[in-house]
A and B are shown apart, each in its own frame.
Chain A
Amino acid sequence: MIPTEIVDHIFSFLHSNQEYTTLKKCSVVFPHIIHRLLYSQISFSIRFGNVNSHSLPDETTYYEGTYLVDPTEFSLVLNDHPHIVNYVRGVRIIFIRMGSSHPYLATLPLVSLVASILSNLSRIESIALIAPCTCSWSALHPELCTAFRNCLQLPSIKAVDIGSYLDNFPLTALEDCTNLRGLQLYCGFSEGEGISTSPYPRLRSLRVDTSTEPNFTRIISWLKSNTLHTLSFRVAQFRHFSKIRPLIEACSHTLVVLDLDLGFCELL
């Protein structure tokens, strides 16, 4: 009999090497150890459009270091092992385009299923929404928007990543996120109505880009909490470069790392 610590170490090694298919097979014998590893960081892929043109091969099991799981399959696993919801710490929702179809129109059942799963995850610390093509937040399925916003309000949430081509994400959805520390907004966002009076979020790390006309009024009001350590700023157009000043000024007493990506700058 191999000691539990050794078994744990072996499976941790497989997990760190993204051997998810192997882990899945082993989960029949060691369900608790492997479920805790396998489902700690997961990605849901929502494929839409022409199903004959695959942008990811079927055998792909990972996405940026997370286990890429089919929502239908995960739902079935949850039926048999409902305790798995307690193991999930990070979730990525990735829309994978297979043509030119619209995510709202094309995948209602799958999106509803992902929304339903999200509503059961109460211990997640990080959440990401990744769109591969330009689409508006308001065009996403309302059930998914609601479930996503509810996740943002979880006290366990520490990191949020909205990208890459999503447009019109409402910043008001991030207010009152009491423990949110890391925020990446590689998307277009909307300020929303009213002036922020919330002391939250108290960000330690902020990544923003200027792919659309940025208005940082609400974000600057958040930075008055004097907690920001790292500011990353990706410039899409030269005229946006000057927008960095008010952001720096808002965190000038705490800023330690300044990360400027001028890769998309169009000077001439």
Chain B
Amino acid sequence: MPPAFQDLQVSLLEHLILYSHVGATCYPSCLVLFLRSIKHTSLSPLYLTFHLVLCISQRVASNFKLLLSLDWSDVAAVLVLPIFRYPIELHVGQWGTTALFVDLVSSFEQNSDIKRLLGDGKLRLIHGPIKGLP
């Protein structure tokens, strides 16, 4: 863990809102480490609203197929952290191609923890366009 994030004390924190873009840039795996470092003295779980933006242009989509499937384990690792209140909202915005979304869903179906969260209604997958983008 980066030393900068050890034992963050945020006793009143109730709600985490995360935005992460996948495709055009790289997913920051350090996010999991950062979230683990949050010490929750109030003991109450956090609300999580996770906006996952799948942004890849049509122009590079065909080339990008070569890289699929992506490793979605960092996304899954965030969702199964034992610090969140259910249901977790995962908003999946999409721009340019459905390939990333299909790959994400496929990955989730193979992850037993995520599959259980979805089945129990503890994870709400909300798929839609990215606000402000065509």
Q: Chain A residues in contact with chain B, CB under 8 A?
A: 232, 238, 241-242, 245, 248-249, 252-268
Contact = CB atoms under 8 A, between A and B. Distances in A.
A43 to B, nearest CB: 17
Contacts, number: 77
B15 A258 contact: yes
Judged by DSSP, the binding face of B is mixed
B28 interface: yes
Interface residues of B, number: 26
A265 B10 contact: no
Contacts of A245: 4-5, 8
B21 interface: yes
A263 B25 contact: yes
A245 B37 CA distance: 11
Contacts of B19: 259-263
A253 B11 contact: yes
30 contacts: A238-B28, A242-B2, A242-B5, A245-B4, A249-B9, A252-B9, A252-B11, A254-B12, A255-B12, A255-B13, A257-B14, A258-B13, A259-B16, A259-B18, A259-B19, A260-B16, A260-B17, A260-B31, A261-B18, A261-B19, A262-B20, A262-B21, A263-B25, A264-B25, A265-B28, A266-B25, A266-B26, A267-B26, A267-B30, A268-B26
Contact of B16 (A253, A258, A265): A258
Given A242-B2, A242-B4, A252-B8, A263 B21 contact: yes
A260 B17 CA distance: 6
B22 to A, nearest CB: 10
Contacts of A258: 10, 13, 15-17
Contacts of A268: 26
Interface of B: 2, 4-5, 8-21, 25-31, 34, 53
Given A263-B19, A263-B21, A252 B10 contact: yes
Contacts of A259: 16-19
Contacts of A266: 25-26
Given A265-B28, A266-B25, A256 B8 contact: no
A242 B34 CA distance: 10
A264 B12 CA distance: 28
